[in-house]
Chains A and B, each alone.
Chain A
Amino acid sequence: MDFSLTAEEQAFEKELEVFFEAEMKNAPPEFAGGLEGIYANEEGNNFHKYMAKRLGEKGWIAHAWPKQYGGMEATIMEQMIFDEVRGRYGAPGIDAFGVGMFAPTLLVGATEEQKERLLPPIAKGEVFYCQGWSEPDAGSDLASVTTLAIRDGDHFIVNGQKTWTTGGHYSDHMFLLARTDSDSKRGKGLSVFNVDMSLPGIEVRPLLYMDGNHIYNEVYFKDVKLPAYDLIGEEGKGWDLTRQTMNFERSGQGAYAGMRVIVDELIGYMKNTKRGGKSLADDPINRKKIAQLIIDCEMGTTLGYKIGWYQSKNDAMNIIWSASSSKLLATELAQRLSQYATEIMGSYGQMEDDPEAPMGGHMANLYQFCKGMTIYAGTNEIQRNLIAWVGLGLPRLKFKP
């Protein structure tokens, strides 16, 4: 075994550090990072879009793509290094939906014409996507979506409602999962579309997160006319394509790196803060909490490497359960981090965005946003099911059709 980086990989890491160090100076004051940082307000979203442009210029958005679509065919290791360094700087600029989910879907399932038309603007950081999967009655059970897209000559007419659409209020496009056969059930008769959000009949309504931030939306479709050339993959085969998209999740490397930086920030705060005349850093309970967070970050990072390893071997079974494990670990670590941080801060832990809040009040916000994390992208219970079924070969629950 060898856990070291090659000379080229080390040089790449250094290059990235220099880049992000310089670019993060352009961040708006108190930039929170994460989905809240880029979708809750205009300044954050502008910075996200600016950063996407810069990353596009560098070729790092399409890093892993084939050369013919503007990519650099980066190795999994290089992608992980990129995720890790970007995570460490809490830098935005990679559209979790367009870059993280839809582009890989296009690479697998789109026509040549579609790839040539849709991939370059994503690679340049010029268009931004939202994810149109969940509906009020189709959450964990995604295959039960009811939004209809019915063919009408060279168009599809869409009617229905999506919900929890993160960043829908700042997106140019949506990748939509809808039913193209009104008589079909569950996974059959579903199709994937590239949707221009400015089409007539689409209405985006804000939903507020529990802390009052506007991050996600409801999206209503009323007789929306989609050009048939934006159907991705075969009509009625959208479920298979969507299932593959679910596996495009990365190793979570960036998340652990980002949280490790927050732990260091917390340690700095503790060393500089006294309560009842004693340094917070000297309190044995606090020390134990910090140590546990560090252990979690260390273990998570190494698990991330292992997932990358499986990915490089195309080891599908191991990718599925280990990616689920990493989603679980990272999101429950975010929960623990915000819990411990807000406990260590004592009464200051309850402060959100406020001039006197330690660490910008981000920990009280994370205490709320981490609950979204354990629910989105497949709830942590669904991930546990997958680990049991795929990772351990335990019997699957039989669902009623």
Chain B
Amino acid sequence: MDLDFNKEQEMLRKSVAEFLSKECPFDDVRELEDSEKGYSPALWKKMAQLGWMEACFPETYGGYGESFFDIIIIMEEIGKKAYPSPFFSTVVLCGQTILEAGSEKQKKDLLGKIAAGKLIMALAQQEVDASFEPADVSMPAELSGDQYVLNGTKMFVQDANVADKLIVAARSSEGVTLFLVDAKDPGISCRKLNTIGKDNICRVDFKDVKVSKDDLIGDDGKGVDILEKMSQRAVVAKCAEMVGGAQESLEMTVSYSKQREQYGTPIGGFQIMQHYMADMKIAYETCANYLYQVAWMVDEGKATVLATSALKAEVSRQYKFITEKGVQIHGGIGTTREFNIGLFYRRAKAFEYVLGDADYHTEKIAQAAGM
């Protein structure tokens, strides 16, 4: 065993952390949250120049990525700074889908553009009934000549409002299928929803949107399989963002509790505060350690549903626990828009819903355990 990060990984972490601290301090995060676009195109360009997107794809497709750990490290640092950008939608959800199932041509073209920071993408899977299950996709894709026609509504599509292209899961006669669609298609309308994460969650409506047969991602009817495989990786990346946020929340709370005095003594000296923070530390450490193990399993091609679901279920619960106690320990100031712990408290709730909540994954663990 070797439970340390290697030199290159440490360097990557440092460079991402320094960039975000400098370029997007928490006041800017709040401003971005309130902005129409929800992210900074200028910073997106710089991220690409620094090679963050390239780090996520193999050399053949315009990147230099070698290990899944690079994505984990970038996502962890993004999580620590509560940094809003379409990185997860584009690079992880869509990038990994294309990597998994795209044709050689699609990979070269789309992944190359993503790696260069020239393409933003969003994945449209969930529908009005809000099921997390890929197999529950029901939006029709009717074959008409050599085109498919999409009609229906997709919900909770993150970054659809800023995307150039969408990957849309819809049901053809063969089953759930993935379609590559131009986000600016006149048949598409998009509405940003008002959500607790203020994070570009959209409703997207499709009216007679035509897709050529060449624009399927993977084979007709193979969507469920592709989405499940992609989710196995993507969910680990999301958990890295959550674990990063949990770490920052714990650290800022511990440091606040040492400075803030009441009754002539730092509040961190009260035993109940100490016990809360001890529990927060256990929660963070166990989640972070398990995250790294599961990420390693992904790299080795050994990831299991049991492991990825256990990770998402527990990280969803513990991130909420850590941020909830974090606010409590801050007292009144923790409830403000101005103070940073609230950013993480809101994100913990928002991220719970990404790729399945704790209850969804709890059921998957039971199934994976043979029940």
Using a CB–CB cutoff of 8 Å, the interface residues on chain A facing chain B are 134, 137, 139-141, 144, 163-164, 207-212, 273-277, 285, 335, 339, 342-343, 345-354, 356-357, 361, 364, 367-368, 371-372, 374-376, 379-381, 384, 397, 399-401
- Complex contacts, A351 vs chain B, CB 8 Å: 193-196
A and B contact pairs by CB, cutoff 8 A, 18 listed: A134-B332, A139-B332, A208-B338, A209-B337, A277-B129, A343-B359, A346-B130, A346-B357, A348-B130, A351-B195, A361-B194, A367-B349, A371-B335, A379-B331, A380-B328, A381-B272, A381-B273, A400-B265
Given A351-B193, A352-B195, do A210 and B349 touch, yes or no (CB 8 Å)?
no
Are B327 and A275 in touch, CB under 8 angstroms?
no
Are A376 and B194 in touch, CB under 8 angstroms?
no
Given A371-B327, A381-B272, do A207 and B195 touch, yes or no (CB 8 Å)?
no
Give bound CA distance, A361 to B349, whole Å: 14
Interface centre among A210, A273, A353, A354 (most CB of B within 10 A): A210
Contact of A276 among B129, B156, B342, B352 (CB under 8 A): B129
Give bound CA distance, A376 to B133, whole Å: 41
Are B359 and A285 in touch, CB under 8 angstroms?
yes
- Complex contacts, B136 vs chain A, CB 8 Å: 276-277
Are B328 and A356 in touch, CB under 8 angstroms?
no
Are A347 and B324 in touch, CB under 8 angstroms?
no
- Complex contacts, A212 vs chain B, CB 8 Å: 34, 337
Are B194 and A379 in touch, CB under 8 angstroms?
no
Given A141-B263, A164-B332, do A275 and B345 touch, yes or no (CB 8 Å)?
no
Give bound CA distance, A400 to B334, whole Å: 26
Q: Does B152 contact A (CB under 8 A)?
A: no
- Complex contacts, B335 vs chain A, CB 8 Å: 209-210, 368, 371-372, 375
Are A384 and B332 in touch, CB under 8 angstroms?
no
Select from chain B the residue with minimum beta-carbon distance to A401: B264
Q: Which chain B residues (97-145) contact chain A, with CB distance < 8 Å?
A: 126, 129-133, 136
For residue A174, give the distance in angstroms from its CB to the closest CB of chain B: 17
- Complex contacts, A354 vs chain B, CB 8 Å: 193-195
- Complex contacts, A376 vs chain B, CB 8 Å: 332
Give bound CA distance, A399 to B266, whole Å: 12
Q: Interface size on B (CB < 8 Å)?
A: 48
A-B pairs with lowest CB-CB distance, top 5: A210-B342, A208-B337, A400-B264, A276-B131, A141-B262
User: Assuming A141-B263, A273-B129, A381-B270, what are 19 further A-B pairs, CB within 8 angstroms?
Assistant: A139-B262, A139-B332, A140-B331, A208-B337, A210-B346, A211-B337, A345-B130, A346-B132, A347-B132, A350-B201, A354-B194, A354-B195, A356-B203, A371-B345, A379-B331, A380-B328, A381-B272, A397-B270, A401-B264
Interface 1/0 per residue, B256-295 and A, CB below 8 Å: 0000011111010010110000000000000000000000
Given A361-B194, A364-B196, A381-B270, do A375 and B328 touch, yes or no (CB 8 Å)?
yes
- Complex contacts, B273 vs chain A, CB 8 Å: 381
- Complex contacts, A352 vs chain B, CB 8 Å: 194-196
Give bound CA distance, A210 to B344, whole Å: 10
Contact of B336 among A208, A345, A397 (CB under 8 A): A208
Give bound CA distance, A276 to B130, whole Å: 8
Select from chain A the residue with minimum beta-carbon distance to B33: A212
Give bound CA distance, A349 to B132, whole Å: 14
- Complex contacts, B358 vs chain A, CB 8 Å: 343
Select from chain A the residue with minimum beta-carbon distance to B203: A356
Are A368 and B130 in touch, CB under 8 angstroms?
no
Give bound CA distance, A367 to B267, whole Å: 25
Select from chain A the residue with minimum beta-carbon distance to B156: A347
Q: Does B5 contact A (CB under 8 A)?
A: no
Given A210-B335, A210-B346, do A368 and B196 touch, yes or no (CB 8 Å)?
yes
Are B353 and A375 in touch, CB under 8 angstroms?
no
Q: Does B197 contact A (CB under 8 A)?
A: yes
Give bound CA distance, A61 to B195, whole Å: 37
Give bound CA distance, A166 to B144, whole Å: 61
Give bound CA distance, A400 to B263, whole Å: 7
Give bound CA distance, A275 to B345, whole Å: 27
Give bound CA distance, A343 to B352, whole Å: 9
Are A210 and B195 in touch, CB under 8 angstroms?
no
Are A350 and B331 in touch, CB under 8 angstroms?
no
Are B129 and A356 in touch, CB under 8 angstroms?
no
Contact of B353 among A208, A350, A356, A367 (CB under 8 A): A350
- Complex contacts, B320 vs chain A, CB 8 Å: 339
- Complex contacts, B126 vs chain A, CB 8 Å: 347
For residue A199, give the distance in angstroms from its CB to the closest CB of chain B: 25
- Complex contacts, A397 vs chain B, CB 8 Å: 270
Are A275 and B194 in touch, CB under 8 angstroms?
no
Q: Does B155 contact A (CB under 8 A)?
A: yes
Q: Does B190 contact A (CB under 8 A)?
A: no
Given A207-B338, A400-B265, do A375 and B203 touch, yes or no (CB 8 Å)?
no
- Complex contacts, B132 vs chain A, CB 8 Å: 346-347
Give bound CA distance, A356 to B324, whole Å: 27
Given A353-B194, A380-B328, do A368 and B264 touch, yes or no (CB 8 Å)?
no
For residue B15, give the distance in angstroms from its CB to the closest CB of chain A: 31
Are B334 and A371 in touch, CB under 8 angstroms?
yes
Give bound CA distance, A356 to B270, whole Å: 44
Are B349 and A350 in touch, CB under 8 angstroms?
yes
Q: Does B297 contact A (CB under 8 A)?
A: no
Interface centre among B320, B332, B338, B357 (most CB of A within 10 A): B332
For residue B269, give the distance in angstroms from its CB to the closest CB of chain A: 10
Interface centre among A347, A371, A374 (most CB of B within 10 A): A347
